Amino acid sequence: MRLNSIVAYLASGCLLASLCGCATSPGTRAQSGSDSMTGESVAEAAGTMAVVKQITPDLIAKEHSTREFATESAIGNLVGVPGPYDIGSGDVLSIIVWGHPDLTNVSLAGDAALNDGIEGRASASPSGFVVDHEGAIQFPYIGRLPLAGLNEEAARQLLTRHLQKYIKNPSITLRVQAYRSKRVYVDGEVKSPGLQSITDIPMTLMEALNRAGGLLPTADQSRIRLSRGGASYRINLPQMVERGVNPANILLAAGDVVKVVSRDDSKVFISGEVISPRALAMRDGRLTLNEALGESGGINPASGDASRVYVIRKVGTELVIYTLDAKLPGAFAVAQDFELNAKDTVYVAATPLTNWHRTISQVFPGALSSAVSAAGTRP
């Protein structure tokens, strides 16, 4: 078979069939169940079902509302009013009964040592009344006295009522000598990750970060994750400040885990027919599709198909593919409002002619250029 016949056969047969198979998105095949009203359809990508959505102003407005609702819900669940510290199991209490030194068990000199680095001094015996695992202390005359869940003033009043049966008008000073019952854990891009004890100073998000030495330059302030009771909340500090919400109003609870994500984990990947494929770091958690294409040099005019721009995103267990026809008027204005998420992949498909040329070049290396040269020298 002559060379020209082979080229014509591949171009008209199996090659075109393969190109038609990826007309919906790279590596996808359109399925039934598309909705022309919403611009959504279902496709199969590498054996995984994916939802395909067209990027339109309506879709952008819907996603923006979803983001706003999620942010407001998270902030609403985390903002609280600080209250007095409640005594818990493991705390060490300093109790002074004035005029009765035999009832006093306290060492003021050891307070700082007990509060700072208590984990590293487990062998030291704290002087004071230790609240046991059932939330009670043993006090002379009274015996077992439950105090867990009470603040210092309520605990003092309870102790006074019990002790006045044995002492007339007792004058009592009660305070927490060492805070050991409630802690939060700060991890990630902070100077000193680790446990932070909740004290009489309200443990807010900013207090916890400051105690951990502050954020490192590699920290992504827009992706601070707070885990509480099986739920996870994303905190965007720049966004909160922009909206006039004070991050110090976010009150932490015992058992909370705060993780500051690294900027390296907040990247968007640009591939396909762009001038300079790369991974782009998001700026304070924000990067639009237009900015991503611009920073990668734009769509390659020689090989890129501007009508097939895709954003591939994993949402939970679901794969979502957003499509944009950049040839349409106003398409880049729409792209400027479409916000990307961390780990998104932006892919620009090649033109059918580019795919055809590459396939021929792989099947017959140098055959296409030889055929063109032969045709050019034909008399």
Domain assignment present for 183: no
How far apart CA 27 and CA 21 sit, in angstroms, is: 8
Alpha helices in 79-103 (DSSP H): none
Q: What is the CATH number of the domain that holds 339?
A: 3.10.560.10
Pair 29, 98 in one domain: no
Are 109 and 233 in the same domain? no
Q: Residue 5: inside a domain, yes or no?
A: no
Same domain, 120 and 174: yes
Beta bridge partners of 130: 92
Domain containing 233: what range?
Answer: 73-82+196-263
What's the domain count of the chain? 3
Does residue 260 register a pLDDT over 90? yes
Please name the residues in contact with 51: beta carbons below 8 A apart, sequence gap of 6 or more: 40, 41, 42, 43, 318, 319, 320, 321
* pLDDT tens per residue, range 26-41: 444 444 455 543 566 6
The predicted-structure confidence for 206-253, as pLDDT tens digits, reads as follows 999 999 999 999 999 988 999 998 888 889 888 888 888 888 889 999
Q: Is residue 325 part of a domain?
A: yes
Specify whether 122 is located in the same domain as 172: yes
What Rg do the C-alpha atoms of the chain give, in angstroms?
A: 33
Most confident of 1-10, 106-115, 274-283: 274-283
Q: Looking at the structure, tell me whether residues 110 and 77 fall in a common domain.
A: no
* 65: in domain: no
My answer on whether 143 and 215 are in the same domain is: no
Contact between residue 247 and residue 293 where contact means Cβ atoms under 8 Å apart: no
CB of 312 within 8 A of CB of 24?
A: no
User: Which pLDDT belongs to residue 292?
Assistant: 95
Please indicate, yes or no, if residue 298 is contained in any of the structural domains: yes
